[in-house]
Structure 1
Amino acid sequence: MTRLSPGAVIGILGGGQLGRMLAGAASQLGFDVHVFCPEAGSPAARVAMKHWQADYGDDEALTAFAEACDVITLEFENIPVSAVEAIAATGIPLHPGAKSLAISQDRADEKAFLRGIGIATADYREINAEADIGPALAALGGKGVLKTRRDGYDGKGQAWLNGPADIAAGWDSVGQAPSVLEAAIAFDCEISVIVARSSTGETASWAPPRNIHKDGILARSTVPSGVGQAVEAEARRQAVALVDALGHVGVLALEFFVMADGRLIANEFAPRVHNSGHWTPEACQTGQFEQHIRSIAGWKLGDTHRLFDAEMTNLIGEAGLIDPAMLAPNETLTLYGKREARPGRKMGHVTTRLGPRKD
């Protein structure tokens, strides 16, 4: 891949907060940004040089967008694969490619791929009809979580089944859509690895944060994680193995359940910058957004050394209406530019530097 120079145009598929923060990082490195998304006035579009407002199924608009860019990336994984294929047909570089996107969009394909490269997942069964759930639940020990194969995020499209009495309601709550039933996992904590891979195969990862969720939504990520160094090292090794196997270019996040004995069970991966990595710009030499831009622009990856212990707290719903004047000197506020606060909606985050790195 040709190394892009400042002044080149980076295209972003998607107009949400991740695109907004990617656009900021690209601008800081001297690039211009075009955003493609169907929504008017989206958070990313409002900080971009140009907004291409069209549907992801509009091949003509996608082609024109691609031809105006030097490289294209995406900010969320539910971009239709057909849109990525339409852009690929123009010959304009797009990172990550269709493989990372397609596998991450289907939980059954994702788990099969992870297992195929030696990364353990929870035991699971594919569910295509309500009649499949009872036998699957029995095979998995009588308790599990039903998740739609596609489109679920932040706890949506999921239902806990604690026994046969929950089957009918659970099937209805996931919209009677093709799903997977995962065995319940008695894990000690959850961590994630944010990893980057360049077009030359260079990789770099950050210290894994410990993640705490509330109502299915990430509430807080903290580094150091408190798990053993050997466990962290193995998690980072597996994340690198994943991006290599995918041929992924850019940042990717791989979530793990950590068992009491230190074993790692992969939950899922996101082929993009990730909420649990939002602390990295304030606490590390190179943050995840700058690293993603470096990756797709053909630049050498930056140093991921952590300078500070840190904690990232999501601002959800009305909590996002925070007064910046109330911040402590060691806190950094990032707001996402969303017009309206709603229950369960991520409005921003605060990163708290807890002091110089201790581990």
Structure 2
Amino acid sequence: MVTAELKIAKLLIFHFNFVFPGYYIFTYRRVTGISICTIDVSQADGPRTVREVKSTVSKSLGIKTDEIEVIKDTTILRNDEKEFRTDGVTEIMIIRKDRRVPIGERTSKEDMFDGDLADGDRIRMSCGHAATPENLYRYCLYKLNSCDLSIKCMECDEVWEFPEISKKADMTDDESVFFSRKMTKVAIDYNNDIRQCPTCGIHCTRLSPDNKQVECVYCKRDGKSMYSFCWECVLPWDAGHNCEKNNINIAQHTLDNCERVKMKYSNISNVPKVRACPNCKLLIEHTGGCKTMDCRNPACKHTFCFSCLKPMNKFGGLQCGNYNSKCTVAPVQKLVI
């Protein structure tokens, strides 16, 4: 028979965490996990960057650092980033470094991405074409980062279902959950019938398509002072609300405060990482590759240099030269209200 004193003792052991002076508890959770894991780390050696998080967690789990990604919401963070916690907890994803092909599903067909230069065994897709599991994984990640849910064959345009992609890319459970979460977010973001409340994060629908002011029933029920938001710009609603002005102010703040990066191939330094398309003003982030940029807006597709912002010439090349040539760095753009 369990006594009341024993129950209290167990509760105390569960809730009380003794930490030596100069140490603190680092908390993390796997994408597939419900429980939170803790590690006692010293104040001096505690992780301050994503790279250090990977090192700390790898020692705890007994795996290599390159088998860990640190994520925030649906974004894989870079090694040098310092903002990696959500509500005090760091979320990690265990990834597969050596993606395998089951013996019975190997094919000698060329990889649809790299041809015969592809490194590793190929797997046959349902359409009959082939890819290495690593190239398939990276292609899927690229499409979702571009907010494109149409993940299809590069040869015949047949659309693949996610269960097939997950299996044939040899994804870990963490990777499968992360990709599913990312696909859900893209679907919600591009669904004009759903919006996320900027105050509580709950997804809402509106009763009338003619009313831009929407009340979040959850925020209103909880007595929050700010429970109305704009359906168009998804900002809190206030007197004299102006979507265009608010959107431009937010975009300008992003342009003014983004970090500076170095262009690969052309070796151009101190280039703003975020630019507004010179044609349609859509904000575009440079995540890698050369300075040639194609606007991601399907209605625009303007091609320009990310450094000097000059457009493509009539011959199909950049006005400032080749993809690897140096050019001037245009100043931070100023949007007109």
With normalisation by structure 2, the TM-score equals 0.31
Higher-Rg structure is: 2
With normalisation by structure 1, the TM-score equals 0.30
Indicate the structure whose relative CO is greater, using CA pairs within 8 Å and at least 6 residues apart: 1
Structure with bigger strand share is 1
